[in-house]
Amino acid sequence: MTPQARQAGEYHTMLRIATAQTATVLVVDDDEHFRALARTVLDPAGFEVREAGSISECLQRMLQRAADIIVLDILLPDGDGITALLEIRERFPRTRIVTVSGANESDLYLSVSSDLGADASLSKASISTLGELLRVVLGQ
């Protein structure tokens, strides 16, 4: 292990220790590359990251163990994120929801999701700020 890698590992360990409470994040997106990128951003920030590739998988994982926050794509293969947002809000009212979209009309989708109860929204192009946004949404 190089000194830089060891130092980075020690830094990430300190970050996790400094986090008073590890929040569980469920990243829901059919794009496995986006899920992997979200994990790359959130793991070092001390979040426990779980993944789902569809709305049905999201709901299944939530029934198994509810997440503190869901990062929800707006366009999914088994339905739209707007409808999923409403269902998740109804079934899991304590769970925070951040909607994401990379679609051409993402501004419209994200605006509608905020109007319908998303705690925050983010363009996929701004993924590097996801950890900071989740901390704000969680009040940390």
| Structural domains of the chain sorted by starting position, each given as residue range(s) with its CATH number in brackets | 22-138 (3.40.50.2300)
Give the span between the Cα atoms of 63 and 23, in whole angstroms. 17
- pLDDT at position 23 is 94
Burial, 46: exposed, middle or buried (Cβ in 10 Å; 0-12, 13-18, 19+)?
Answer: buried
Tens-digit pLDDT profile for residues 68-105: 999 999 889 999 888 999 999 999 999 999 999 876 66
At residue 72, the pLDDT reads 95
Which residues of the chain are under the pLDDT cut of 50? 1-20
Q: What is the pLDDT of residue 106?
A: 61
Structure tokens given for 128 = 């590097």
Beta strand 75-76 with 69-73 is unpaired
pLDDT for res 14: 38
Query: What whole-number distance in Å separates Cα of residue 24 and Cα of residue 27?
Result: 10
- Predicted local confidence at residue 42, as pLDDT: 94
